[in-house]
Amino acid sequence: MAQKSGQTNALIFSTLAFTTCFAVWTIFSIIGVKIKEDLGLSGFQFGLLAGTPILTGSLIRLMVGVWSEQYGSRRVFVILMIASAIATYFLSLATTYPMMLLAALGLGVAGGTFIVGIVYVAHWFPQEKQGTAMGVFGMGNGGAAVTKLLAPTVMASVGWQGVAQIWSAALLVMALIFWFSTKEDPTLAERRARGEKPESMKKHLEPLKNIQVWRFSLYYVFVFGAFVGLALWMPMYYTKVYGLDLKVAGMLAAMFSVAGSVFRGTGGWLSDRHGPRKVMYWTFAASLACLFFLSYPPTEYVVHGVDGDIRFSFAWSVVPFTMIIFTLGFFMAIGKAAVYKHIANYYPNNVGSVGGIVGLIGGLGGFFLPMLFGLANDYIGIWTSCFMILYALAGASLLWMHISIRKLEHKMHPTLKEHKYLGEFSYSSKKH
């Protein structure tokens, strides 16, 4: 009974804590639009400001992931929340662009809580339920939607500085709630009971020699990095392309964030049931279809007919555009869960280090992509160029995955057998 209660509290409060962290981590998706106007920032400068927290949260994921395995994820989780809350409050005092970049670096540590929470949750659940549990925890990505829905109204009342102060206070309160509502994970407790010392950093980093880890990282650049990049980019996209008010743009952009978050639990369940490899195929195939349509820019056509020129145009209106974006978010959500199901299955004793490097690389995608989107706008001059970039990324990921799997099939034939939980392949002793 105590174990069951511990599982429930661990999952509920870590998910709530991560939701709050993610709301802070993506705060520039809303207040950055106002800052851009106030300071007259270019597309690249806006992308850099919005992406800087993503950089910090990504770079620290490997280190905090290992620390979580060594010293306890619950403790590391709280430390990161407090540090981010302090930096977020400092942001409200910033008056220049360099000061804002410095504050953005600090508040970005909130993004490191993802891998910490993954380690914490994974240690509470058996393998056959880890996909679902980690998927539910990953629904904390919905914090981006919280910011998009609430920040515009708060900003209209108390300014963007007020948003930073309120979000900072909320993170501090959540840190206290999490600490007093949860227990140390069973793995850490058992290790301490046996008097074992934490494994060395070198031991935790050994799996990073496998090319498979870096393949998983590329998957995560798309399903997570691109999700974060679009979550930051969509409010401005809606205001510039469709001329919408920031509040309306935030609400519509939140639909993408919600889709990319709440269905992560579904992705975990599907990965437990069908294997993460199949889920990744579904993710890339559907995403390519969505991005193909989203990449098509508004175009006018002239057909030289028998009786003269026939003119017509094509452009996505806001409703079908939002529907396609929502669908893309759904498949990104189930793909994020599938990637970490892979990690928990293949590297159960190194979730912190392997998950950390995968999260690091994926998060770096979230940092560089907004800047790349801004550069594409500045130099190509087509708003849909951001979706063209993502189409190429999804295609490259699918190609590498398929080639790798075909090589495994060729290498292992005729003793090849799909493993239910690993989702890729394992040897079978049965002769064919």
Q: Could you report the per-residue pLDDT of 246-288, keeping only the tens digit for each?
A: 888 888 888 888 888 788 888 888 988 888 889 999 999 999 9
352 and 340 in contact (C-beta within 8 Å)?
no
Predicted local confidence at residue 197, as pLDDT: 64
Q: Omega into 276 within 30° of 0, i.e. cis? A: no
pLDDT tens series, the chain, 432 aa: 556 667 888 899 999 999 999 899 889 888 888 888 888 888 778 878 888 888 888 888 888 888 887 788 889 999 999 999 999 999 999 989 999 999 999 999 998 898 898 888 888 888 778 878 888 888 887 888 888 889 988 998 999 999 999 999 999 999 999 999 988 877 766 776 666 666 666 666 777 778 888 899 899 999 988 988 898 788 889 998 898 988 888 888 888 888 887 888 888 889 888 888 899 999 999 999 999 999 988 888 888 888 888 887 778 899 999 999 999 999 999 999 899 888 878 887 777 778 778 888 888 888 888 888 888 888 888 899 999 999 999 999 999 999 988 887 666 655 444 444 444 443 333 333
Distance CA 127, CA 123 (A): 9
Distance CA 80, CA 290 (A): 36
Predicted local confidence at residue 426, as pLDDT: 39
Distance CA 397, CA 401 (A): 6
Rg (CA), the chain: 22
In a domain, 432, yes or no: no
Distance CA 274, CA 288 (A): 21
Inter-CA distances, 326 with 86, 256, 331, 362, Å:
34, 5, 9, 21
Q: SS3 of 416, please? A: strand
Q: Dig out the tokens for 66 from the structure.
A: 């290992």
How is residue 196 annotated by DSSP? Answer: P
Handedness of CA 374, 375, 378, 383 (dihedral sign): negative
CATH number of the domain within which 175 lies: 1.20.1250.20
Domain that holds residue 226: 2-188+199-427
Distance CA 335, CA 241 (A): 28
In a domain, 224, yes or no: yes
CA dihedral 234, 235, 237, 241 (to 10 degrees): 140
Predicted local confidence at residue 192, as pLDDT: 65
Predicted local confidence at residue 123, as pLDDT: 83
In a domain, 316, yes or no: yes
Predicted local confidence at residue 386, as pLDDT: 92
Q: Dig out the tokens for 313 from the structure.
A: 């145009």
In a domain, 26, yes or no: yes
In a domain, 259, yes or no: yes
Total structural domains in the chain? 1
366 and 224 in contact (C-beta within 8 Å)?
yes
In a domain, 194, yes or no: no
In a domain, 147, yes or no: yes
Q: Dig out the tokens for 254 from the structure.
A: 């939140």
Long-range contacts of 186-190 (CB under 8 A, 24+ apart): 186/3, 186/6, 186/123, 186/124, 187/123, 188/72, 188/73, 188/123
**Which phi and psi angles does 96 have, rounded to 5°?**
-125, 160
Predicted local confidence at residue 46, as pLDDT: 82
Q: Are strands 299-305 and 308-314 parallel, antiparallel or unpaired?
A: antiparallel
Buried b (16+ CB within 10 A) or exposed e, 284-309: bebbbbbbeebbebeeeeeeeeeeee
In a domain, 357, yes or no: yes
Predicted local confidence at residue 199, as pLDDT: 61
